[in-house]
């Protein structure tokens, strides 16, 4: 775990105002003053004073008809600017070394391309593992944990051609039940199919539209890597993937739900 930096003194009024904005964000709809004050855990009179200022600078808007308060134009502009500047690779790279150190296994990040999943970052552990995966490697969909996560959460029409090509080359098959299990568990685990003796787990990262943005994975010796859902490796990779998802505006829970509802072939 990464130690938190010592908390610096700030401006309390700004933090109080942020509680109001957070309450509106979580609610996802305009709220009357009483409800908003309750969600922000403050007296309605105090909340009203803050709302007057927040409305003036357009962080909050007040409906002229109902009097309810909602997210203002400036807040919307800030949110959009944040989404445009969010970068899944930058966010993931900031956390991958800590993840590697926490589980003492090699960690990778993969993005989707027209050729399939491509490894864009790799943090190798202190424990040597023989593997032919490097930055720039294109990973199969059928036989890797990373590939199976993409196959499970990508729209079917984006992966169908690549899966069909892999099936023709290997005479293998990726059953619908395997993909459904990946979606249900929220991760994939594969032992020794791509590189003998090397196991891998992989977890999806979701963006602000609940689409899969990347896959975070861990590699280790097949006989030593704990690939169970309750194990420290899967839990740590999942926690880091969820953290990155939140930082780019997404959430793993919403992504899993959306993926289950998508049409699959």
Phi, psi (degrees; rounded to nearest 5) at 153: -110, -15
d(CA 175, CA 160): 13
User: Residue 176: which pLDDT band, with cuts at 50, 70 and 90?
Assistant: confident
Give 3-49 pLDDT, tens digit per residue.
445 666 778 888 899 999 999 988 878 999 999 999 999 999 999 99
Phi, psi (degrees; rounded to nearest 5) at 205: -115, 130
CA distances for 55 relative to 47, 65, 76, angstroms: 12, 15, 13
What mean pLDDT is predicted for residues 116-141? 83
Phi, psi (degrees; rounded to nearest 5) at 232: -65, -35
Residue 65 has pLDDT above 50, yes or no: yes
Contacts of 114 (CB under 8 A, 6+ apart): none
Check residue 192 and report its DSSP letter. Answer: S
Same fold, 12-84 and 86-261: no
User: Residue 183: which pLDDT band, with cuts at 50, 70 and 90?
Assistant: very high
User: Residue 244: which pLDDT band, with cuts at 50, 70 and 90?
Assistant: very high
d(CA 126, CA 139): 23
Residue 85 has pLDDT above 80, yes or no: no
| Cα angle 216-220-226, degrees, rounded to a multiple of 5 | 85
pLDDT at site 171:
53
CA dihedral (80, 237, 136, 156) positive or negative = negative
| Domains of the chain, residue spans | 12-84, 86-261
- Average pLDDT for the chain: 84
Partner residues linked to 189 by β-bridges: 201
DSSP per position, 77-112: HHHHHHHHH--HHHHHHHHHHHHHHHHTSEEEEEEE
Residue 160 has pLDDT above 70, yes or no: yes
Residue 194 has pLDDT above 50, yes or no: yes
Residue 227 has pLDDT above 90, yes or no: no
Contact between 108 and 119 under an 8 Å Cβ cutoff? The reply is yes
What mean pLDDT is predicted for residues 134-156? 91
Q: In the Cβ-directed half-sphere of 15, how many Cα atoms lie within 13 Å?
A: 5
* CATH value of 12-84 in 3.90.1150.10, 3.40.50.300, 1.10.10.10, 3.30.70.20: 1.10.10.10
CA distances for 111 relative to 34, 53, 116, 122, 136, angstroms: 45, 43, 8, 12, 10
Residue 73 has pLDDT above 70, yes or no: yes
Look at 5-9, 111-115, 255-259 and tell me which has the smallest mean pLDDT: 255-259
CATH number for region 86-261: 3.30.450.40
């Amino acid at each position: 775990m990464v130690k938190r930096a010592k908390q610096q003194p700030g401006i309390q009024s700004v933090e109080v105002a942020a509680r109001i904005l957070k309450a509106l964000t979580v609610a996802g709809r305009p709220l009357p003053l009483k409800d908003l004050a309750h969600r922000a855990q403050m007296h309605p009179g105090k909340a009203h004073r803050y709302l007057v200022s927040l409305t003036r600078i357009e962080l909050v808007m007040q409906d002229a008809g109902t009097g309810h308060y909602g997210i203002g134009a400036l807040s919307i502009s800030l949110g959009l600017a944040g989404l445009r500047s969010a970068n899944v690779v930058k966010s993931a790279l900031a956390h991958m070394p800590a993840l590697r150190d926490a589980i003492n296994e090699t960690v990778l990040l993969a993005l989707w391309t027209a050729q399939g999943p491509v490894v864009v970052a790799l943090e190798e552990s202190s424990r040597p593992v023989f593997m032919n995966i490097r930055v720039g490697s294109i990973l199969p969909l059928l036989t890797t944990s990373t590939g199976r996560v993409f196959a499970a959460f990508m729209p079917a029409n984006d992966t169908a051609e690549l899966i069909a090509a892999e099936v023709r080359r290997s005479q293998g098959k990726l059953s619908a039940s395997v993909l459904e299990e990946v979606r249900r568990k929220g991760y994939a685990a594969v032992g020794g199919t791509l590189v003998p003796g090397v196991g891998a787990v992989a977890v999806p990262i979701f963006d602000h539209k609940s689409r899969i943005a990347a896959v975070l994975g861990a590699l280790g010796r097949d006989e030593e890597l704990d690939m169970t859902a309750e194990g420290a490796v899967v839990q740590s990779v999942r926690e880091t993937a969820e953290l990155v998802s939140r930082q780019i505006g997404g959430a793993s829970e919403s992504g899993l739900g959306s993926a289950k509802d998508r049409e699959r072939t």
